[in-house]
Structure formats: C-alpha cells, structure tokens
Amino acid sequence: MRVTNRMMAENAIQNLADNMEKVNNLQNKLALNKNFLVASDDPTRASASMSLRSNLKALDSYSEAADLAQNWMTATDSAFDRLEQLAVRANDLILRGLTDTLTGDDRAETLGAEMQSIAKEAVEIGNTSVNGQYIFSGYQVNQKAFSLGDSPTTLSDYQGNPFTPMVVNYLGDQGNIQRSIGPDQSVTLNVRGDQAVFGFLQNLILATNALTQNNVRDTGDPLTDPLTLESIKTSMKASLDTLDQYRTSNGAHMRQVDSAANFLESIKIETKSLLSSNEDINIAEGIALLSNQQTTYNAVLEVSQRAMSALSLFDYLR
Amino acid sequence: MPTISSGISIALQAVLTHSQVLEITEHNVANASTPGYRRQAAILTTDTPTSINGADHGIGAGQRGSGVTIDRIQRFNLAYFDGRFRSVSAEAKNWETQSGILSQLEATLAETSDEGLLNKLDQFWGTWQSLSNDPTNTSLRTVLLDDANTVALALNRRSSQIIQLRSDQNNAISGSVEEINSLASQIAQLNGEIARVNSVGEQPNDLMDKRDLALDRLAEITGAVSSEQKNGEVLVSVGGHALVVGRDTFQLETRTSTTDSSVLDVYWEDNQKLNLLSGELKGTLEVRDRVLVDQMNGLNTFAAQLASQVNAIHRTGYGINNATNLDFFTGTDAASIAVNPNLDALSIATSSAANQAGNNTVALQILDLKNFKGMSGNTATLNEYYNAQVTGLAVLTKRAADNSYQHGLVVHALGNQRESVAGVSLDEEAANMAKAQKAYQAAARVLTAYDELLNVVINQMGLVGR
C-alpha cells in the first residue's frame, strides 16, 4: 500500500485519540468506583442495578415496618405482663376474701380498697400507648381503649350504706390493624382490648363490689349467685385464661415479625452484595487495566512522535 | 532533414516541459495537506514525429522524433472509492448524530444516579409504607405529599426535557438544510465550469477536487449519491429526488410540522417531503420522530397509569378528617401530572371507613400497587415498566454509539485507501522533483551544445582566406 505523510499523521492522531479515550474511561470508572457511568455503558447491568436498588429500598421500608411492629408488640406484651401480675394479686385477694374468719369490715376496707386500686391500675394499663397510639383500641388509635366511670345505680355495702360502684367501658372498635412486613406478608399488629382485657377489668370491678358488699358465698339463688366472690373466683380464672391466650398469640406474632426481620436483614445483605458485585468496579483489576492502558498510551506517543518527525527524502537530496 | 533550429526547438520544448513537471510537483507539495486535494502528475509523451525519407537524403531511415510534450495532467482519483467512502461516511454520520442526541438525553435523565425517577418512585412507595405503619402521623402525611410532588415534578421535568430536546433539533435541521442548499448551488456552479473546461480539452483537476469535497460533505449530511455524466457534470440525488441536475438545483426548505407545531419538517420546493436513508439529517430526524416520541409515549403511559391506579384506590378511602372520594393525582400524562391541589395532608386516605384513625387498609392497598403488575399487558409493575423504558433507551444509545464507532473505523479505513491512491507522498514528490530537475539540466546542456554549434556556424564558418 502506498502510504502518504498525511495518512501517517492522521493515523497517529487517531491512535492517540483512541487510547486517550480508553484511559479516560478507565479513570472515570475508577474514580467513581462504578462499572458503568451511564446506563448505555452496560444496559443489562444498569437494569439489574436499578431493580436491585428498588428492592433494597423496599426491604428498608419493610425492615422499618417490622421494627415499629416489634415496638408495638413488645409494649403489648409488657402490658399483659403487668396485667398478669395484677391478676395474681387480685386472685390472692379473692382467696383471702373467701376465708370465712374475715369480717365484712376486713373484706370491704382492706381487701375491697386494694381491689379497687388494682382495677384502676388495670384500666390504666389497658390504656397503654405507643407513640401516642392506644394499643388496645382497635382502629381508634387516638382514643383511650377503656374509660372508668361511676355506675348510675348505687349498691349498698356490708353495713347497708349506699355506695357507687365503678363501671368500665370499651371505647375502641373491632379493628384488626395489619402490618405489611414483606411482599405478600402481613401480620396482625394489635390485640383488641374488648376481646383480651375487657372481661378481666369487669371481673376486677365485680370483685371489688362483692368485697365491698361482703357478698362471699353462693346461696343457690341463680339471680344473685354470679355476683358472689365465690363465682367471681371462677370467672376471674376464665378471664385470666383469656389474657394468657391473647398474650400467647401476641407472642406468636412477635416471633413471626422477629423471623421476618431477620430474614429481611439477611436478604438486605445479600442484595447489597449483589448490587456491589453488579456495579462496583474491581479496583485491583481496574488499576491493572489502567496502568496497562497508560503503558500502551506511552508507546503510542513514542511511536507517533517518530512517525511524524521521520525524515523525508527532501532532507537527503542536494 | 534535421536542422539546427529543429534541434534547438526540441531542447527548448524539453526545458519547458520539465519546468512544468517541476511546477506540478511543487503544486502537489504545496497542497500536501489541503483537504480534498488529489495529487496530480504530468503524463509525458513524445511529440508528433516528422517523417523523413531517408533514401532521399542518404542519412538513415524512419521517422524523426520531435521531443517531449505533456499529454495531460492526470488527477489520481478512483470514483469507486469515492462512492464507497460517501455511503459509509453517511451511515457513520447518521449513527454519530443519533448517539450524540441520545447521550444528551441519557445524561439529562440521569436514571442511574440519585436523580433517577425510580429512586423517587421508591421513595414515594416507602413513605406510603411508613404512613401505613403510622396513619395518624401528620408529619408523615406532609412528607408523603412532598414525595408525591417530587415524583410528579420529576415526570414533568422529563416530559419538558424531551419536548425541549425535540425542538432543539430545529436549529440543527434548519442549519443542515441551509448547508445542503448552499452545497447544491456550489456543485451546480462547479458543474458549469468543469463542463466548460472539459469542452476545450483541458483537465479541470482543482475544480473537481472542490466538487468532490462538496459531494463528500453533502453525502455526510444526506447520504446523497452522484453520478458523473459524459460532459463531466455530476447528477446528485437525495433519497430518490434530484438535487443537482447540470447547472440547476432543487432547493429544500423547512416547514412547521403538520402534526406537531413545535418542530420543523423538511420539504422539497415541489412540496414533496424529504425522504432520507442515511446521513446526519436522517439521524436527527430518526431520533426526533421515533426514539424521542417512543420515550415520550412511554413516559406518558407511565404517568397516566401511576395516576389512575393510585386514584382508583385512593378515592375509596377516608382521610383522617373523613374526607373521601378525592383523587390523589391530577393530570393524564407526564406533562400534566401533579398532586391534587385540593388534597391536604389530613385528607390523604389511609382508612377504609370513616372515623377509624388507625385503619391503614387503604394505605396498604396503595402500597401493594408497588408490586401490582398492571403494565405492558399485566406483565410488569410500574417500576419494572420504567426500568424497561430506561434500559430500552440505554440499548438504543449503546447501539448508536457502537455503530458510530464501527462505521467510523470503516470510514477511516476507506479514507486511508483513498488517500493511498490520491494523497501526496512527499518522498515520491522529492524523487519526481529530482527526476525533473536532472532532465531539465540535461535539456539545458543540449541547448548549450546547439549554442556552440551555432557559434561554429556563425562565427567560424566562411573565414577561409581571411
């Protein structure tokens, strides 16, 4: 092939430009620690990166949801714990009230008074809130679950004096709040106060009334018998079972959230490592490539310089 | 019969011829780096010989040579290379232009960075999730409105960027049309001059260089093809329509597109629409009318679906202030989508019934849209749809860049081939120069010999007996 001076010069320029571009690309990739700078550098990887990033974001949201659910459920569990402690004490008081050697005064002034304070405390616990949200109210999270008030009707105490018994109302609703803690995975967050706690609170009030009235033993009268301390002992037992049952179910939900959270964490780590292997440059390899490219570039510079400044025949003719 | 004067004439002719050969060499060297210059060479030939009748004069036989002359000045060019070179460079320019515009779009969309739309959409879903965890949280509601606004604005911005990019091409298009018209006039004018020079039997080498340069550029812009006529004129056509015929040209003009008043289309003066197969202008029009339109449609579908899917669920829900039947987004495409201006933080529907502050059913339903495959014939989620959209653009951009690079290599190789035939090699010119110089010197010595002969004849003959 006939080679002209212009061809040599233009080829040299082209080679320099090509090599310069490669060095520049490697430099940018290394500086940003990315295999691709824009999607068109590697559409497949870029697409994978975008969906992995999306997934990671979703996993973060799910993790956050799981954390919050754990807080709520832990608060529910500790409320149950405190309620059960109160229940033990209430049971104690009922058993002592059933001791025949006690007088009506003992029952009303000592046991009855303590039972009343237990009932008040239990209602307080029933109104536990997390982040300003009442956990036993169903959907009515802005509303206390229980209210404690005075009954419109009066009863007479062991001395025949009238007294106003307390009355407890459930102010929440029948909402079961769902939490999404994974794709297509949701868990019931709340325990409804009307199902789990309400019976216990009512029994505490009934026990208070029975102690105050000194109404101890069943007499065989089906109308008044349910209000005696003796039958309340039985129904208290039932409401304790209910408390226990809902506490267990809350515990099961907690374990579910726990394992979901652990799963989310491990998936997150996996996704992050996938993302990193997908888009982060292998630095050792990148630097090796760069220094190789620089060597090539130096060689091209050297060769170009010789080619372009080569002597021509004009230098030798005289 | 040989005479001294005919000998002098041969020597003089040789001196003049070789000095002209030197001049041609000089012309080559001077234009060694002139774009479009094809090297020239003098084709030397013997001058017409004279007949002599040897028998009559008794001094030998045959025709007597009458020296050297220049037959013509050859221009080194292969029309075949020109045609190949132009068709490949038109294709290379087509892809180069596409690659340029698409990279611009890709850079402004920046989908792989934090500025990407998907990032913002994920943020939007994430806030819905947070709100479903805590539906009574007013500040989360405000954050959600903010995130939704960011998504809507990102869509608006992308839409206006694509519109802007489309109308930006108007400048490139009218510039190209002006250049085509001016190149066409130039070629027509050169056609005239070349035909005139040809008709008197001379070689219009430098004019042809100029015309070829104009044809090269014209091919880059439009993929124009040319064919040379017997009289030396070229016929140029673009996409099947004549552009230059002899000394006449057909002009192109830009008109506002009938379908979109913000962009320009190109028409011939006889009202036919310009139809191109390759070249810069083809690349510009292709990206503007196909790729950008597809991107725009995809973006509009995305925005419309996002709005209608979210709205359909949102309307069934109740806000914390019991507001219901409200749209979350307004607008039907990427340009018009916005967060409903009548929607305040408290009205964002999270509950499936009135007066249930902790009810997050609707928030969960909207959150589920993230995984709802409602796009592309119920095969893709919104995220996947947009991901495919971005990847599609990336593939087109990469293809354009790859094609541009590869065709560029071919153009370079063909350019080298052409240069190999037509380019000036200084070494060669040096050798030619030396050759011409020696021939000139020799011819001059012959003249000196004749001078001495004349001296003998004039000054020394006839002096006998003086």
Does residue B52 have a pLDDT over 80? Answer: no
The answer to whether the beta carbons of residues B65 and B49 sit under 8 Å apart is yes
Distance from CA of B69 to the nearest CA of A (A): 26
pLDDT digits (tens, 9 = 90+) for A77-87: 999 999 999 99
What confidence tier does A218 reach under pLDDT thresholds 50, 70, 90? confident
The pLDDT of residue A244 is 92
The answer to whether the beta carbons of residues A260 and A185 sit under 8 Å apart is yes
Does residue B54 have a pLDDT over 60? Answer: no
pLDDT digits (tens, 9 = 90+) for A173-200: 998 998 888 877 889 999 999 999 999 9
pLDDT digits (tens, 9 = 90+) for B231-246: 999 999 998 999 999 9
Query: How much of chain A is in helix, strand and coil states, percent to nearest 5?
Result: 65, 10, 25
Q: Which residue has the higher pLDDT, B250 or A318?
A: B250
Chain B residue with minimal CA distance to A72? B133
Task: Give CA–CA dist B288/B259, Å, rounded.
Answer: 13
pLDDT digits (tens, 9 = 90+) for A41-69: 889 998 998 889 989 999 999 999 999 99
Mind giving me the DSSP string for B256-310?
E-SS-TTSEEEEETTSPBP--SSSHHHHHHHIIIIIHHHHHHHHHHHHHHHHHHH
The pLDDT of residue B259 is 87
Q: Name the 3-class secondary structure at A168.
A: strand
Query: Where in B25-140 does DSSP place strands (E)?
Result: 40-46, 50-51, 63-64, 68-75
CB contact under 8 A, A177 and B358: yes
Does residue B1 have a pLDDT over 60? Answer: no
Distance from CA of A150 to the nearest CA of B (A): 27
CB of B122 within 8 Å of a chain A CB? The answer is yes
Which of A3, A28, A37, A38 to mutate: most B Cβ within 10 Å?
A38
Least CB-CB distance to A2: which of B126, B355, B420? B420
Distance from CA of B423 to the nearest CA of A (A): 6
Least CB-CB distance to A7: which of B102, B387, B416? B416
What end-to-end distance do the CA atoms of chain B give, in Å? Answer: 31
Output the six-digit token pair for B324: 């219901």
CB of B106 within 8 Å of a chain A CB? The answer is yes
CB of B383 within 8 Å of a chain A CB? The answer is yes
Q: How far is CA B311 from the centre of its chain?
A: 47
Nearby residues of B172 by Cβ (< 8 Å), 6 or more positions away: B280, B284
Mind giving me the DSSP string for B406-462?
HHHHHHHHHHHHHHHHHSPPHHHHHHHHHHHHHHHHHHHHHHHHHHHHHHIIIIITT
For Cα atoms A132, A134, A139, give the angle at the middle one, nearest 5 degrees. 115
Which amino acid, B302?
F
Query: Other CB atoms closer than 10 Å to residue A52's CB: what's the count?
Result: 17
Task: Give CA–CA dist B37/A162, Å, rounded.
Answer: 124
Q: What percent of chain B has pLDDT over 70?
A: 97
Q: Given its phi and psi angles, is residue B251 left (phi above 0), alpha (psi -120 to 50 degrees) or beta?
A: beta
Max Cα–Cα distance, chain B, nearest Å = 153
Which residue from B153, B218, B215 is spatially nearest to B180, judged by alpha carbons?
B218
What confidence tier does B57 reach under pLDDT thresholds 50, 70, 90? low
In chain B, residues with a C-beta closer than 8 Å to the C-beta of A137 are 358
Buried b / exposed e over B179-191, threshold 16 CB at 10 Å, is bbbebbebbbbbb
Residue whose structure tokens are 């809350």? A250
Task: Give CA–CA dist A172/A194, Å, rounded.
Answer: 8
CB contact under 8 A, B32 and A131: no
DSSP state for residue B201 in the 8-state scheme: T
The pLDDT of residue B61 is 60
Does residue A117 have a pLDDT over 70? Answer: yes
Which of B395, B425, B429, B432 to mutate: most A Cβ within 10 Å?
B425
CB of B430 within 8 Å of a chain A CB? The answer is yes
Q: Given its phi and psi angles, is residue B331 left (phi above 0), alpha (psi -120 to 50 degrees) or beta?
A: left
Which amino acid, B344?
D
Task: Give CA–CA dist A312/B433, Å, rounded.
Answer: 13
CB contact under 8 A, B122 and A53: yes
Distance from CA of A269 to the nearest CA of B (A): 19
β-pair type (A133-134, A129-130): antiparallel
Which residue from B41, B180, B160 is spatially nearest to B105, judged by alpha carbons?
B160
The pLDDT of residue B464 is 72
pLDDT digits (tens, 9 = 90+) for B367-387: 989 989 989 889 999 999 999
The pLDDT of residue B53 is 60
Q: Name the 3-class secondary structure at B450.
A: helix
Nearby residues of B217 by Cβ (< 8 Å), 6 or more positions away: B179, B183
Does residue A204 have a pLDDT over 60? Answer: yes
CB contact under 8 A, A317 and B434: yes
Does residue A96 have a pLDDT over 70? Answer: yes
Nearby residues of B175 by Cβ (< 8 Å), 6 or more positions away: none
C-alpha torsion sign, points B64, B66, B72, B78: positive
Task: Give CA–CA dist A205/A146, Å, rounded.
Answer: 13
Nearby residues of A92 by Cβ (< 8 Å), 6 or more positions away: none
CB contact under 8 A, B102 and A40: yes
Task: Give CA–CA dist B199/A200, Å, rounded.
Answer: 120
Query: Other CB atoms closer than 10 Å to residue B395's CB: what's the count?
Result: 16
Does residue B165 have a pLDDT over 60? Answer: yes
Distance from CA of A45 to the nearest CA of B (A): 9
Task: Give CA–CA dist B428/B362, Å, rounded.
Answer: 85
Does residue A230 have a pLDDT over 80? Answer: yes
The pLDDT of residue B60 is 60
In chain B, residues with a C-beta closer than 8 Å to the C-beta of A69 are 133
What end-to-end distance do the CA atoms of chain A give, in Å? Answer: 28
CB of B318 within 8 Å of a chain A CB? The answer is no
CB contact under 8 A, B426 and A53: no
DSSP state for residue A158 in the 8-state scheme: T
Task: Give CA–CA dist A163/A231, Å, rounded.
Answer: 22
CB of B408 within 8 Å of a chain A CB? The answer is no
Least CB-CB distance to A39: which of B135, B390, B425? B390
What confidence tier does A107 reach under pLDDT thresholds 50, 70, 90? confident
Distance from CA of A219 to the nearest CA of B (A): 46
CB contact under 8 A, A7 and B395: no
CB contact under 8 A, A46 and B33: no
CB contact under 8 A, A54 and B118: yes
The answer to whether the beta carbons of residues B83 and B225 sit under 8 Å apart is yes
Which of B99, B112, B421 to mutate: most A Cβ within 10 Å?
B112
Say how many CB pairs under 8 Å bridge A and B: 172
CB contact under 8 A, B111 and A50: yes
- ipTM > 0.90, yes or no: no
For Cα atoms B370, B371, B374, give the angle at the middle one, nearest 5 degrees. 90
CB contact under 8 A, A314 and B426: yes
In chain A, residues with a C-beta closer than 8 Å to the C-beta of B317 are none
C-alpha torsion sign, points B212, B217, B219, B222: negative
Which amino acid, B91?
E
Beta bridge partners of B51: B63
Does residue B56 have a pLDDT over 70? Answer: no
CB contact under 8 A, B394 and A39: yes
